[in-house]
Amino acid sequence: MKHSSKPTPALFPSPAKVRLPVPCCPRLMPVLALPAVALVAFAAPVPKVAVVPISAMNAAQVRVLDEVDRRADRITRGPGKGELTVLDRTAGVEVLDENTLRPLRKPVKDAHPITLATSPDGKLVAWTERNKTTYTVLRTDTDKSFDIELKDDPDHAAFSPDSKLLAIGSTFWDPRAEGAGHTEVRLFDATGKLLRTLARSGAGSAKPVFSPDGKTLAVSNRNYEPRLFDVATGKLLHVLDKKMTQEVAFSPDGKVLATAHVDGTLALWDTATGKELRSAASGCKELYSVDWSPKGDVLVTSGRQGPIVVWEPGRLAKLKELDAPAWVIQVRFVSDSTRFITSSALDLSAKSGRKFTIWGLPNNK
């Protein structure tokens, strides 16, 4: 951009001096001359524009606020306040400021994770890499790590809300028959000690997720039904009656589980009974990701060849459908519910047009 040699005009032009009236008594202070602009100092302050969370009342106004050229296969809130942890399977792991997306730190060095879990207190990071049967757990305060041997193919992992437990999924693929084998989840303490192994299901990629109170563990399965377990005992509580789940997410109060399915369906389940509350087609050919707003009053989903949808969970009604690229692998609200971020690509190969899109209300930009 060319810069003009003409000087930039001042914010306020030099005002003419204003002569105040002469006091009636000559012994009082002499006549003063003050700039008229000085009177501006006595004006009322300009009110700040309120930043409004996305809700069922205003979701119809959600639009694109910004786009950033950036890759990510996984986005999670935390570990710190106002932070996002981003996993890119080619570039590694970074923690970002959720408001500016400015990189803050790299918790994993000299490794190329394909899955990642970070403890809520930020002191532990767990990951696995391609062609390995182990999970590496790093203590960020001491920079020391240890490995957990699984023997089978590692799946996803999750830390409990109190950071004391680590759930890791793994799958044994039986070479004697295509698709045969089993998937299971094991619970470890923060030192890597095995506490219990949960009941197996059919072979598929497992994603464990703890409830907000840490008492229930939900496990999704790419090929079979999602399951709910009691964390303290390992008891299988419920098998949810719909197969082939991708991502699952507890409501902030833990009473409802949202499940994103391979057929493009979004379903909501009562976590106490395991019964389906309601379900609806998202308009995607496959749902990849689902997230609750931290306030719990709206949901958002993304997937393959279909819209990003903002939902009202009580009726499971679509509040807003947003045009999306062919491949939207992740969607995440920021901590104050004012925006959500999607990670996408232009085509199903996920190689071209990778970007973050920031969505929100017009006044929140």
Paired with 94 in beta bridges are: 86
Per-residue tokens: 115: 């899955």
- List b or e across 286-318, with b for residues whose CB sees 16 or more CB atoms inside 10 angstroms: bbbbbbbbeebbbbbbbbbebbbbbbbbeebeb
* Mean pLDDT for the stretch of residues 154-175: 97
How far is residue 83 from each of residues 101, 120, 261, 294, 340, measured CA to CA in Å? 9, 11, 28, 14, 13
Amino acid (one-letter) located at 24: C
Angstrom distance (rounded) from CA 333 to CA 300: 8
Q: How many CA atoms lie within 13 A of 219 on its CB side?
A: 37
Residue 35 lies in a domain: no
Q: What is the pLDDT of residue 365?
A: 67
Mention every residue, 6+ apart, whose C-beta is less than 8 A from residue 152. Answer: 133, 170, 171, 172
Taking the C-alpha atoms of residue 82 and residue 13, their distance in angstroms, rounded to an integer, is 41
What is the domain count for the chain? 1
- Within a domain: 4: no
For the residues 61-87, what does the mean pLDDT come to?
Answer: 96
pLDDT confidence bin for 50, thresholds 50/70/90: low
Does 24 reside within a domain?
Answer: no
pLDDT in tens, 230-263: 999 999 999 999 999 999 999 999 999 999 999 9
Nearest CA-CA partner of 118 in 90, 91, 149, 96: 96
* Residue 69 in domain: yes
Q: Does pLDDT of 274 surpass 70?
A: yes
Q: Per residue in 169-224, pLDDT tens? A: 999 999 988 889 999 999 999 999 999 999 999 999 999 999 999 999 999 999 99
Task: Identify residue 214 by its one-letter amino acid code.
Answer: G
Q: Please, what is the Cα angle at 355 between 351 and 361, to 5 degrees?
A: 150
271 residue type, one letter: T
Q: Between residues 12 and 136, which one has the greater pLDDT?
A: 136
Q: What is the CA radius of gyration of the chain?
A: 27
- How far apart CA 291 and CA 123 sit, in angstroms, is 24
Is residue 252 within 8 Å of 238, Cβ to Cβ?
A: no
User: 265 lies in which domain range?
Assistant: 59-364
Which one-letter DSSP state was computed for residue 10?
A: P
The answer to whether position 189 is within a domain reads yes
Q: What is the CATH number of the domain that holds 135?
A: 2.130.10.10
Lowest mean pLDDT among 72-76, 108-112, 191-195, 265-269: 108-112
pTM of the model: 0.85
The predicted pLDDT at position 154 comes to 97
pLDDT of residue 272: 98
pLDDT at 30 over 60: no
Residue 103 in this model has a pLDDT that exceeds 60: yes
Percent of the chain past pLDDT 90, that is, above it, reads 82
pLDDT for res 16 = 39
CA distance 207 to 209: 7
What does the pLDDT average to over 296-312? Answer: 98
Q: According to the model, what pLDDT value does residue 42 have? A: 38
| Average of per-residue pLDDT across 160-169 | 98
- Which residue type sits at 318? K
Give the best-scoring range by mean pLDDT among 227-236, 345-354, 355-364: 227-236
Q: Residues 123-146: what's their mean pLDDT?
A: 96
- Whether residue 305 lies inside any domain: the answer is yes
On whether residue 52 sits in a domain, the answer given is no
Which of the four pLDDT bands, split at 50, 70 and 90, describes residue 11?
Answer: very low
* Residues near 284 by beta carbon (within 8 Å), at least 6 away in sequence: 264, 301, 302, 303, 304, 305, 306, 307
In a domain, 308, yes or no: yes
Alpha carbon distance 211, 219 (integer Å): 11
